[in-house]
Amino acid sequence: MARVKIDLPATFPFSVQIPVRIRDINYGNHVGNDAILSIIHEARIQFLGNLGYKELDHEAGAGFIMADVAIAYKGEGFYGDIFDIAVAAGEFNALGFELFYLITTNRNGQTITIAEAKTGMICFDYNAHKIAKLPADMKARLETGK
C-alpha cells in the first residue's frame, strides 16, 4: 500500500500550542483522525491571524477555500498532551498556496511526532463566488510568516 509522503519545509516561521481535549479522543483512546483535521484548522486560523489575515473576511468578501488536505499520521496523541503545531506556507501559484503542518508533543522529555500535514488553499471571492488571484503582498507575508 502506498503511503502519503509530505515534503515538509526546512523551517517553520510560526507555531502554536494546542492542548488535546477529551472530545479529541476516539474509541481507540487516542486522538482521532477527525480531531487532527480540526486541530490543523485551528492552527491555520491562528497562523493567518498572526499575519493580519482572516480565512474569511466578511466585510471584504474575500477569503480562502481548502481545496485539499493530506495527513500522514506518525504517532499517537493522548488526552493531556499539548500539541505544538508548526506552520509554514509554500508551493505558491497565482491562485493560492499550500500550508504545511508539523504536529509534535513533548512526552517524558521526548519530542514525539504525531502527524505531518498539508492543505491546499485557494483564494476565493465570496461576493462573486469565484476563485481569485493571490495578492502579491499577501504572498510575500505568507512566505516569510511575518
**Residue 94 resides in a domain:** yes
**Residue 9 resides in a domain:** no
Structural domain count of the chain: 1
Per-residue pLDDT, 56: 83
Strands 56-57 and 14-19: unpaired
**Residue 97 resides in a domain:** yes
**Residue 4 resides in a domain:** no
Amino acid identity at 78: F
Per-residue pLDDT, 62: 77
DSSP β-bridge partners for residue 49: none
**Residue 35 resides in a domain:** yes
* Sequence-ordered list of residues with C-beta below 8 angstroms from that of 108, at least 6 positions apart, any chain: none
Amino acid identity at 43: A
SS3 131: strand
Give me the residue label for grid cell 485551528: 42
Strands 130-131 and 82-90: unpaired
Which pTM value belongs to this model? 0.94
SS3 84: strand
List pLDDT tens digits, range 9-47. Answer: 999 999 999 999 999 999 999 999 999 999 999 999 999
Q: What band does 127 get if pLDDT is binned at 50, 70 and 90?
A: confident
**Residue 135 resides in a domain:** yes
List pLDDT tens digits, range 57-102. Answer: 777 667 899 999 999 999 999 999 999 999 999 999 999 999 999 9
CA geometry: angle 10, 11, 17, nearest 5 deg: 130
User: Residue 129 belongs to what domain range?
Assistant: 14-144
CA distances from residue 103 to 5, 124, 134 in whole angstroms, order as listed: 15, 27, 27
